[in-house]
Structure 1
Amino acid sequence: MPLSTSEETHHWTTHQRVCGIDEAGRGPLAGPVVAAAVVFPRHFTPSSAFSALGDSKAMSARNRERLTSLIMEHAEACAVAVIDNTTIDRINIFQATMLAMNQAAETITPLPSLLLIDGNRFNPALPIPYRTIVKGDAKVFSIAAASVLAKTTRDRLMRDAAELYPEYGFEQHFGYPTRAHTEAIRRHGRSPFHRQSFRLRQLGEK
């Protein structure tokens, strides 16, 4: 069943600017974590063109790219924040994810009046009310839109990294710990784009 803006509709009665936030890239061994924030116009009703919107990980790359264009066209505001792998190593992936989400929210102008966050944890940097929603990218329209923007942005960055480090195949696994990626690390070691703090049991790392 296509996602509707029913969750947003509930909050639009008391909030002018409801913002969905999601991230991409918590689990990979390489590359940044990326968060996106999306605000749709109050009482926005999505057309049938948005019927494929949902959890971005379950979509084809072609659908994600198509939906990215639609989201950018119809959103009232959207923002993306990128936290690189060296920062992830320095502050840990959870803190880096929180930083990315907050930076994306802070970039929205004017600021949102409510944040809808995918997941069950959030550390806010601004005094803005928020709700965490488990599996929100499959339930909430604006969170799903943020999920798509975050993933398409990160995928493009990983394709760029593949040109610098072709031996790792980033354009195929996007930094996740696939067998091919693990074998590439075994052969070549880690690149400057890898997260040095992430360990691989397959390689005997502790």
Structure 2
Amino acid sequence: MDLVPFQADNSSSCRLASDIPEVCRTEDCCLGIDEAGRGPVLGPMVYGICFCPISKKEALKDLKVADSKTLTETERENLFQKLDESKSYIGWALQILSPNTISTSMLQRTKYNLNALSHDTAIGLVQYALDSGVQLKEVFVDTVGPAEKYEEKLSRLFPGIEVTVRPKADSLFPVVSAASICAKVARDRVVRDWKFAEDLGEVDTDYGSGYPNDPKTKAWLLKHLDPVFGYPQFVRFSWSTAQTLMDNKAANVNWDDDDEETGEKAAQRRNNRSMLSYFSTSAGGKRHNPTHQMHRFFTERRLKSLDTL
């Protein structure tokens, strides 16, 4: 499975898939679904499906696939290669959800949390397999939220398919283990080969695990926090870890049309450095810091302050 295209630098999501084995179009098939990267504050979340004929379940078990979290990186890569060598009867598809996609989804006005995003992504991948001609009869899913409700939801959407939703499905069903390996290998490669759209100079790539409680991850977040523009697209800015750092370290945003405030709250706002101060001029019409270079956000768009026109 060639995953070279997984060098992401955009703010959207994308899907990659193998060829559909011909046998999967003619025989009843089973399909497993799992994800990698749900919890980290850095990098994408990747959803994977793996499918094969029901008659090949034992052959899939013989590959000794297992929950990706119990395997070393080398073991995952080796199993990934074995799955690729079995492409005459095994197919896969991956949906990469960028950090930006995750954050903007979670922060939109209408409620759309990570569980809903996960459900919709899994549903989209099952539908992709069906649209591609895979003769699905069984679907196995690692639960997101209450297992019974999720199972009922999928069964209603895909009548005629036996749906099984279980906690720890990646350790119970080999076809889910295979999907878990595909998703984890893909995410690891995305994170390792990430191409930053932002001009950050020499980027420290020692992110740690990417999980919010990792000291290395916290240090990286603090180092790469722009006081005005926040984080590069590699960061899930909706995560509380990132939001707390922005609240404490970044410029406050004060809107001119905010209601008048009095007392302690107003005094606090006057004493805090506003984002506007990064662009304002002094009373004499000169910039506070004449040697300060305009941020690339403005130079890339050929924007200038009114006082320079």
Q: TM-score, length-normalised on structure 1? A: 0.79
Match of 2:140 among 96, 109, 116: 116
> What residue in structure 1 maps to residue 189 of structure 2?
156
Q: Please state if 1:197 is matched with 2:238.
A: yes
Whichever residue aligns with residue 176 of structure 1, its letter is: Y
Give 3-state SS (helix, strand or coil) of 1:158's partner.
helix
Q: Tell me the distance in 2 between the aligned counterparts of 1:194 and 1:18.
A: 35
Q: Secondary structure at the match of 1:154?
A: helix
Of structures 1 and 2, the larger Rg is shown by 2
The correspondence for 2:30, drawn from 18, 27, 39, is 18
* Greater fraction of residues in helix: 1
Tell me whether 1:56 sits opposite 2:68 in the alignment: yes
Moved more, 150-159 or 37-46: 37-46
Higher relative contact order (CA 8 A, sep 6+): 1
2:173 is the alignment partner of 1:140: yes
Aligned counterparts of 2:243 and 2:121: Cα–Cα separation in 1: 29
Aligned CA-pair RMSD: 2.7
Contact 2:42 2:234 in 1 (8 A): yes
Separation (CA, whole Å) in 1 of partners of 2:60 and 2:140: 22
1:74-153 equivalences in 2 (<5 Å): 74=86, 75-92=89-106, 93-108=114-129, 109-111=132-134, 112-119=136-143, 120=147, 122=150, 124=154, 126-128=157-159, 129=161, 130-153=163-186
| Aligned partners of 1:82 and 1:100 also within 8 Å | no
Counterparts of residues 159-174 of structure 1 (less than 5 Å): 159-161=192-194, 164=196, 166-170=203-207, 172-173=208-209
Task: Determine the C-alpha separation between the residues in 2 that align with 1:83 and 1:96.
Answer: 9
Q: Which runs of 5+ in 2 are unaligned?
A: 1-26, 107-113, 226-230, 248-309
| TM-score, normalisation: structure 2 | 0.54
Counterparts in 2 of 1:59-74, with a 5 A limit?
Answer: 59-74=71-86
